[in-house]
Structure 1
Amino acid sequence: MKIIVEENYAQMSRVAANLLLGKMYQNKRVNLAITAGSTPVKMYEYLIEDVKNKTYLDNVHYYNFDEIPYKKKSGYGVTMNNLNKLFFEPAAINPDQIHPLDETNYKTQDLRIEQDGGLDLILLGIGADGHYCGNLPGTTTFEDLTSYVGEDATEDMQEILLSEVGGDENERPNFYVTMGPKSVMQAKEIVLFATGKKKAKIIKQAFFGPVTNNVPASLLQVHPNLTIILDKEAASEIL
């Protein structure tokens, strides 16, 4: 486990962008699973400038690792819509390089990635409860591959689903799909990043405490190639 602590959010975002770029420059197919949300916003701003109209990066393929479908809207779900707005569209990524995960193909996701050569890197955030992707406490176990999480989702997850669709009860789905812990751990490299004081407690708990299903991200500490990128506030309890 390598921990990188930068002074502030902008600097940690630049480091995260650099790590992804280092993978992209390889002379082979590169498979990346990337995250949406608020933490990567600045990183994508850097990456857009770095990758837009760079035809020599057409070897890079992108996978979303979870998806929350809208209940009524058609087309992409929450995750892919966010990734499109944050990165794929402004960076002019060729659609042939984007491989969405959704409720129609989640059962074949792990085989598809394996046949594509496996994930070279997966970029994760972390929730205050220690979740990553859609792996909240009580929703998946360490043995789960890519999964459908249905109406038995926890109350916390139901609240997250509601917030992800803008608080619109009419659009809140009753399920989502996610790469499970076992799927994530098959990636050749894991990069997790976090910003802000509100993440300091869970960073210490997840990566300096016991490995437990109660803190899903704690499993990541046993991955042989894990990098954690933090700003000083997120790292304040481990410095």
Structure 2
Amino acid sequence: MQLIVEKDYEAMSQSTMTLLLSKMIQPKKVNMAITAGNTPKRTYELLVEQVKNKPHFSNVTYFNFDEIPVFDEQGYGLTMHHLNRLYFKPANISSDQIMQMTPYNYLQFDDMIDKAGGLDLILMGIGADGHFCGNLPNTTEWQDKTVRINATEKHKELLLNEVGGDITKVPDYWVTMGPKSVMHARHLVLFATGKSKANIIKQALEGPITLDVPASILQLHPNLTVVLDEDAASELTKK
């Protein structure tokens, strides 16, 4: 594991952007799965400045690694809606470069990735409960590939914020790349910011490997890069 600790969110975002850009600029086809959420907002702003309308980045194909079936007016699920808003549209990424996981094709998604040559990189955050991608505590097993997860009442409470507090929009399930699918990627990049993530980062990186903290499995990946700001890294003992 490579650990990169930066002073603050801006510096952490810059380092994450540089990692992505160094992967993308290779003179070959590159496949990346990227995350939505709050943490990557600045990373994507910086990346847009580097890649927008530059044909030499047409070698990159993007994947979403999970999807929540709450559809916008264009028919995109919640994850793709946010990826469009944060990165794809501002960077003017061609639809030909985007391979979507949906609630309808998730059973074929691992085959789609294999046929594309596998994933060179996955960029992911970590939840306060230790989840990565859509793998919440005790919802998947280590051997799971891309799966559908049925939402419990507790999960529906967590999803309520994702749908603006409208209980009628809370879905009964979501789909996600499971641990086995994620661990097959050639390079994993995990990033986090803020004191609120410090304890779960410690558990995930220095604690036992357990389904109670799903991200703990990432310790076993042979090419894991973790990018943190000082606050998120503040409880680690091995820096």
Q: TM-score range by the shorter chain?
A: over 0.9
1:195 and 2:197 are equivalent in the alignment: no
Q: Is the 8 A contact 1:138 1:154 kept in 2?
A: no
* Residue 72 (structure 1) shift: 8.7
Distance in 2 (alpha carbons) for counterparts of 1:133 and 1:162 = 18
Q: Is the 8 A contact 1:71 1:170 kept in 2?
A: no
User: Following superposition, which runs of at least 4 residues in structure 1 exceed 3 angstroms of deviation?
Assistant: 71-74
Gaps of at least 5 residues in structure 2 are: none
**1:139-178 aligned within 5 A:** 139-150=139-150, 153-178=151-176
How many pairs does the alignment contain? 237
**Counterpart position of 1:133:** 133
Distance in 2 (alpha carbons) for counterparts of 1:195 and 1:49 = 22
SS in 2 for 1:228: strand
Q: Is the 8 A contact 1:71 1:173 kept in 2?
A: no
Distance 1:205 1:51, change over 3 A: same
1:97 and 2:97 are equivalent in the alignment: yes
* Residue 54 (structure 1) shift: 0.6
1:67 and 2:67 are equivalent in the alignment: yes
Q: Is the 8 A contact 1:126 1:132 kept in 2?
A: yes
Distance in 1 (alpha carbons) for counterparts of 2:51 and 2:152 = 39
Q: TM-score of the superposition, structure 1-length normalised?
A: 0.96
**Counterpart position of 1:226:** 224
Distance in 2 (alpha carbons) for counterparts of 1:15 and 1:156 = 35
Q: Is the 8 A contact 1:206 1:217 kept in 2?
A: yes
70-79 or 24-33: bigger deviation: 70-79
State the AA in 2 paired with 1:52. Answer: K
* Residue 154 (structure 1) shift: 3.7
156-165 or 52-61: bigger deviation: 156-165
Distance in 2 (alpha carbons) for counterparts of 1:220 and 1:154 = 25
| CA displacement 1:77-109 (0-9 Å, x = unmatched) | 110000000000010000000111011100000
Q: Is the 8 A contact 2:134 2:175 kept in 1?
A: yes
State the AA in 2 paired with 1:181. Answer: P
State the AA in 1 paired with 2:120. Answer: D
Q: Is the 8 A contact 1:72 1:171 kept in 2?
A: no
Q: Is the 8 A contact 2:72 2:81 kept in 1?
A: no
Distance in 2 (alpha carbons) for counterparts of 1:123 and 1:214 = 22
State the AA in 1 paired with 2:32. Answer: L
Distance in 1 (alpha carbons) for counterparts of 2:15 and 2:195 = 19
**1:49-88 aligned within 5 A:** 49-70=49-70, 75-88=75-88
**Counterpart position of 1:47:** 47
Q: TM-score of the superposition, structure 2-length normalised?
A: 0.96
Work out which of the residue numbers 211, 216, 236 in structure 1 matches 2:209: 211
Q: CA RMSD in A?
A: 1.2
Q: Is the 8 A contact 2:145 2:177 kept in 1?
A: yes
Distance in 1 (alpha carbons) for counterparts of 2:33 and 2:157 = 25
| CA displacement 1:59-87 (0-9 Å, x = unmatched) | 00000000001179660011000000000
